[in-house]
Structure formats: structure tokens, C-alpha cells
């Protein structure tokens, strides 16, 4: 059940909020311990091996609606303390997914905004690194400040693995930055922030849990893949 009690990271949360509002993303290092990350990886392996979870081109949807382990981490006070200065005192979990890059799934992800996938109200995603993510293993790339442009038109989904909705306009990649992350670190980003990821050039496995949150503002259009498992995690939403 929701573990929305605060962990005492308010100063860190205030700093996180300022950086997030300026750049549309922020990295918080080593929020979860090595043993906690190992637990998430074991649970992900178990779910895939048992058939409870299925991977489509390295993307596995809806972990928390199938696993108490992932539900627990998505209601962890350390994560919610970072989200509260950004979203507000009332927070609702919306959906999650695991993204796996390895020797079989190694392609890059093109530039896009997450907003084009789910639309509706403003949302914030937490990209939780489960393995060391570097430019060689497929870490994120972001365009700082791009969230200030608001929702941008994208092209139609391409029938190519990893292509999804592609941003129509060429991105000035000289302004983009790589976002490496160690296991247990979190990258928070706005659903309007333009981001992509590098291909995995090593063949080593690179896993991440991506969890999305919002303020509880009422009805939303259904997520296009049909995985919609919102539940309250803090404040009036979680009471």
C-alpha cells in the first residue's frame, strides 16, 4: 500500500525542483541502494521468466499492477519526496515500464516528447537506472529547456523497433547533453522535455524502470497501449 510518509529529503527536494523547472529534467544520484536495485532486477527476471510480464522490443509495460515489489518502490518516500516539490502535495502514480537494451535490443530511441503518447494533464517520469547507463550502453540524451516549448507536433509512429513517435523537426544536437546514470540513480523529466537515448554498442544489458506520476486532476484519456493502473501515493490522493 502507499508508503507516502516523507523521508526528510526536503532540502534536496527544493534543489531538485529548481533544477527541474529550469532544465526540464534533473539527475539525483543513488537514491536506491545496490541491494534494492538487485531486488528490482531479480523481480524483473522472475516476471519475464514466468510469463507474467512480456517484452516487446525491450519494453515491458505495467510492472506495478503485477508486482508488489515494483509497487513498493513506486510508493517509496525517497522518490515521492523528490516529486512533491514538482507535482505538489497530492501525487498519483499513473503507469510504469521497464526498458531493456542488450545484444538483441540495441537500437537508439529517436527524439520525442512523452506527452505525445499519453496527452492529457502534465506528467513527470522517473527514469530509475538498474544498470550503469553510459553513452556506450544506451543512456538518455536530453535537450535542456525544451519543455518550455510546450507540446510539439510529432510524426506518425514508424513500423520499426524503437522508432515510436518521431519528432518532425531536426534537433540541434549540439545543445543536447548525455545523461549517464549509475544503478539506483533517478532521472526526473517533464513529459514535454525532448529526449532520446543512445544505442547500446556493448551488448551488455542495460535496464531501467520508468515510472510516471501526475497530480490527481480527474479523468484522463486511456494510455494507448491499454495499460492504465493509476493509484494514489501521497497527500489527499493517498489518504
- Name all contacts of 171-178 with Cβ < 8 Å and 24+ positions apart: 171/111, 171/143, 171/196, 172/143, 175/143, 175/144, 176/141, 176/142, 176/143, 177/141, 177/142, 177/144, 178/135, 178/139, 178/140, 178/141
Q: In terms of pLDDT, which residue wins out, 14 or 80?
A: 80
Structure-block grid coordinates of residue 110: 529517436
Q: What is the pTM of this model?
A: 0.86
Q: In terms of pLDDT, which residue wins out, 226 or 146?
A: 146
The yes-or-no verdict on residue 163 having pLDDT over 50 is no
Q: How does residue 57 score in pLDDT terms, banded at 50, 70 and 90?
A: confident
pLDDT at res. 12: 45
Query: What residue ranges define each of the domains in the chain, with the CATH number in brackets?
Result: 13-217+230-234 (2.60.120.620)
Highest-scoring range by mean pLDDT, 8-12, 47-51, 169-173, 223-227: 47-51
Please compute the mean of the pLDDT values over residues 213-219 and round it to a whole number. 81
Averaged pLDDT score across all residues of the chain: 84
Please compute the mean of the pLDDT values over residues 176-201 and round it to a whole number. 95
Angle (CA) 224 225 227, round 5°: 110
How many other C-beta atoms are found inside a 10 Å radius of the C-beta of residue 72?
A: 17
pLDDT at res. 196: 93
DSSP state of 6: -
pLDDT at res. 195: 93
Q: Quick check: 24 and 186 in contact, CB under 8 A?
A: no
Q: Quick check: 234 and 69 in contact, CB under 8 A?
A: no
Closest C-alpha to 214, from 73, 93, 97, 65: 93
Three-state DSSP state, 81: helix
The yes-or-no verdict on residue 3 having pLDDT over 60 is no
Highest-scoring range by mean pLDDT, 6-20, 78-92, 141-155, 224-238: 78-92
Angle (CA) 39 181 103, round 5°: 75
The model's pLDDT over 98-136, given as tens digits with 9 standing for 90+, comes to 999 998 887 888 888 988 777 678 899 999 999 999 999
Amino acid at each position: 500500500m502507499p508508503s507516502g510518509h516523507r523521508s526528510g529529503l526536503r532540502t534536496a527536494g527544493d534543489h531538485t525542483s529548481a533544477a527541474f523547472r529550469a532544465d526540464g529534467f534533473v539527475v539525483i544520484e543513488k537514491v536506491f541502494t545496490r541491494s534494492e536495485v538487485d531486488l528490482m532486477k531479480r523481480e524483473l527476471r522472475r516476471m519475464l521468466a514466468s510469463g507474467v510480464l512480456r517484452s516487446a522490443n525491450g519494453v515491458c509495460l505495467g510492472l506495478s499492477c503485477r508486482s508488489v515489489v515494483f509497487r513498493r518502490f513506486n510508493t517509496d518516500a525517497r522518490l515521492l519526496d523528490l516529486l512533491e516539490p514538482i507535482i505538489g502535495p497530492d501525487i498519483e502514480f499513473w503507469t510504469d515500464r521497464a526498458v531493456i537494451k542488450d545484444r538483441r535490443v540495441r537500437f537508439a530511441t529517436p527524439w520525442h516528447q512523452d506527452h505525445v503518447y499519453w496527452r492529457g494533464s502534465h506528467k513527470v517520469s522517473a527514469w530509475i537506472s538498474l544498470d550503469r547507463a553510459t553513452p556506450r550502453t544506451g543512456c538518455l540524451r536530453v535537450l535542456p529547456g525544451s519543455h518550455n516549448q510546450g507540446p510539439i507536433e510529432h510524426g506518425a509512429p514508424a513500423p520499426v523497433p524503437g522508432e515510436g513517435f518521431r519528432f518532425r523537426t531536426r534537433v540541434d544536437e549540439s545543445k543536447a547533453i548525455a545523461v549517464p546514470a549509475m544503478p539506483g540513480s533517478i532521472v526526473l523529466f517533464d513529459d514535454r522535455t525532448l529526449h532520446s537515448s543512445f544505442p547500446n554498442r556493448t551488448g551488455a544489458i542495460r535496464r531501467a524502470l520508468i515510472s510516471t506520476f501526475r497530480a490527481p486532476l480527474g479523468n484522463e484519456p486511456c494510455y494507448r497501449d491499454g495499460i492504465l493502473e493509476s493509484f494514489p501515493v501521497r497527500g489527499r490522493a493517498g489518504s
